[in-house]
Amino acid sequence: MALHRLARERVVSAAGPATVRRLQDTLAFAGYTFWAAISLDFTDEHYHLDCPHCATRLAIVIGGHGRYSAIRDHDDGDIHRVPLRPATPAELNGTSRWMHDTAVAAGDTILADGLIHLFGRAGCGACGSSFDLAGRLEAENSPIQPIDAIVPRTDRSN
């Protein structure tokens, strides 16, 4: 708890790449392991995921090359590009709101802009569906939680 508090207090005083590192440290200390580990280099970020509706493999681009989802073709590059629909800051809540507000407070406009795209909606160029980008990334990449509690039961009457 103390490490989380200290990291949270220091994140807005960072600049440049240190902002992202401190943001991720704070997320890790709070237990948000997926958001602590995901790359947030929005100068040229690429994520890969499957469309939740048709399972087409998509490339998600957020950065200097644009903000879109596409089907990545070996010969033709990114085809069937669909622009990402960014969330508005007012639509963000919980962790996404805190991450965006922290980026704004630190003056990191590239990070803040990237986050509203990451927490917005993506479209599939194959089936035309739209989906929650961050939710899909987290669902595909977060570790599966155990069914049983880690701590063994102490009641042995059964």
Judge contact between 92 and 118, C-beta under 8 A: no
For the chain, the domain total comes to: 1
Could you tell me the two tokens for 23?
């943001």
Does residue 67 lie in a domain region?
Answer: yes
Could you tell me the two tokens for 152?
């063994």
Among residues 112, 97, 147, the alpha carbon closest in space to that of 40 is found at 112
Per residue in 107-116, pLDDT (tens digit) is: 899 999 999 9
Confidence of residue 158 (pLDDT cuts 50, 70, 90): very low
Strand partners, 61: 46, 68
Does residue 23 lie in a domain region?
Answer: no
Does residue 31 lie in a domain region?
Answer: no
Does residue 29 lie in a domain region?
Answer: no
Per residue in 9-52, pLDDT (tens digit) is: 555 555 567 788 888 888 888 888 899 899 999 998 999 999 99
Domain coverage including residue 101: 42-141
Could you tell me the two tokens for 11?
């994140």
How far apart are the C-alpha atoms of 47 and 117, rounded to whole Å? 12
Q: What is the DSSP letter of 78?
A: E
Does residue 75 lie in a domain region?
Answer: yes
Does residue 35 lie in a domain region?
Answer: no
Does residue 147 lie in a domain region?
Answer: no
